[in-house]
Amino acid sequence: MTVLQAGPLRLNVERLGAPGRQPVVLVHGIATDNLTSYYFTVAPEFAAAGHDVVMYDQRGHGRSERPRTGYRLQEFTADLSTLLDTLDIRRPVHLIGNSFGGTVALDYALHHPGRLASVVLVESEPPTAAWAQKMSRLLAGSAHQLHDERTLPWIEERYGRHEARLVRWATRLLHHTTIARDIAASRIPPADGWRTLDVPVLAVYGAGSDLAAMAPWLEGLLPRCRTVKVAGHGHSVLVGAPQTVGPLLLDWVREGHRALPVAVV
């Protein structure tokens, strides 16, 4: 792993595969997530297929720097843009985001469509005012729950040390930063902007997830969007079904994104 100075922050970055080949950039979720959710699932498959695979810990997560403030969506998006510039990635990128990482990916796509070959969302939704308020409530509620000294021992006993370690990192993030308030104050793109987004989008949901119901709405909102539901899985479909999700994403990056009709704007 490499720590890079990307603008004002030090970001922990992992790069697999062949630099200079087709880049695939992987953006993880919020709080209890980091780049390892890709490193131990789909990233090696992309690298083996000859792609330039970039993963990084988002600000406040994993081994990246954790500032006290600065957690609005636009700041996560700016980190992604700065990272691509720092790595001198010039070719159009396939941008894959899990959960909150997919929201970052969509926000980036709206502001930098020319830098992308496609976007893949895994259990994600676009940034809306309702999304910002929901995320803020969830983060604040999680911070309150983690004040209970019984929580971490219970998590370690039931889910193991790795999950407990992720929760410890999330506890520091939630208790020592302004992330819950900042997410609520995020920049929300105008709704009409999504209808002109000329980037192919694949959205993958666990069929048992609450977010799966938004698939028809998302296909109607984004002009070049296809959705897929994975049976027998919920929100953690990326780590729960890598044998299904991995080939699905690889096929999309190879040729699937080309099969969608070009938007008429």
CA distance 7 to 3: 12
- The residue type of 202 is L
211 token code pair = 């977010």
Alpha-helical runs (H) found in the chain: 36-39, 43-48, 73-86, 100-111, 129-145, 151-159, 161-176, 179-184, 215-221, 237-240, 242-254
Full strand arrangement of the beta sheet holding 52-56 = 2-6, 9-17, 52-56, 23-27, 93-98, 116-122, 201-206, 225-230
Q: In the structure, what pLDDT confidence band is assigned to residue 161 with cuts at 50, 70 and 90?
A: low
Instruction: Say if 263 falls within a structural domain.
Output: no
150 token code pair = 């019984």
- Answer with the residue of higher pLDDT: 222 or 164: 222
Q: What is the DSSP string of 52-87?
A: EEEEEPPTTSTTS---SS--SHHHHHHHHHHHHHHT
The predicted model gives 76-95 an average pLDDT of 97
Instruction: Say if 117 falls within a structural domain.
Output: yes
- How far does CA 154 lie from the centroid of its chain? 27
For residue 134, the tally of other CB atoms under 10 A from its CB is: 14
Radius of gyration of the chain (CA): 17
CA distance 139 to 213: 22
CA distance 151 to 90: 45
Predicted confidence (pLDDT) at residue 224 exceeds the cutoff of 80 = yes
pLDDT tens sequence across 8-27:
999 999 999 988 899 999 99
80, 104 Cβ separation under 8 angstroms:
yes
CA distance 179 to 73: 10
Q: What is the pLDDT of residue 142?
A: 83
Of the candidates 159, 67, 142, the residue with the CA atom closest to the CA atom of residue 100: 142
Instruction: Say if 74 falls within a structural domain.
Output: yes
CA distance 55 to 93: 13
- Answer with the residue of higher pLDDT: 34 or 160: 34
Lowest mean pLDDT among 79-88, 119-128, 171-180: 171-180
The predicted model gives 79-98 an average pLDDT of 97
CA distance 227 to 212: 9
Instruction: Say if 128 falls within a structural domain.
Output: yes
pLDDT tens sequence across 34-69:
999 999 999 999 999 999 999 999 999 999 999 999
- How far does CA 177 lie from the centroid of its chain? 20
User: What is the bridge-based pairing of β-strands 9-17 and 2-6?
Assistant: antiparallel
Q: What is the pLDDT of residue 44?
A: 97
User: What is the bridge-based pairing of β-strands 201-206 and 116-122?
Assistant: parallel
Instruction: Say if 143 falls within a structural domain.
Output: no
Mean of all residue pLDDT scores within the chain: 91
Instruction: Say if 182 falls within a structural domain.
Output: no
Structurally, how many domains does the chain consist of? Answer: 1
Place of tokens 């190879």: 254
183, 72 Cβ separation under 8 angstroms:
yes
Place of tokens 């997560």: 61
Range of the domain at 215: 2-133+188-254
Instruction: Say if 72 falls within a structural domain.
Output: yes
Predicted confidence (pLDDT) at residue 160 exceeds the cutoff of 70 = no
78 token code pair = 């700016």
Q: What is the pLDDT of residue 20?
A: 87
Predicted confidence (pLDDT) at residue 118 exceeds the cutoff of 70 = yes
Instruction: Say if 196 falls within a structural domain.
Output: yes
- The residue type of 209 is S
> pLDDT above 90 covers what percent of the chain?
81
Read off the CATH number of the domain in which 25 is found: 3.40.50.1820
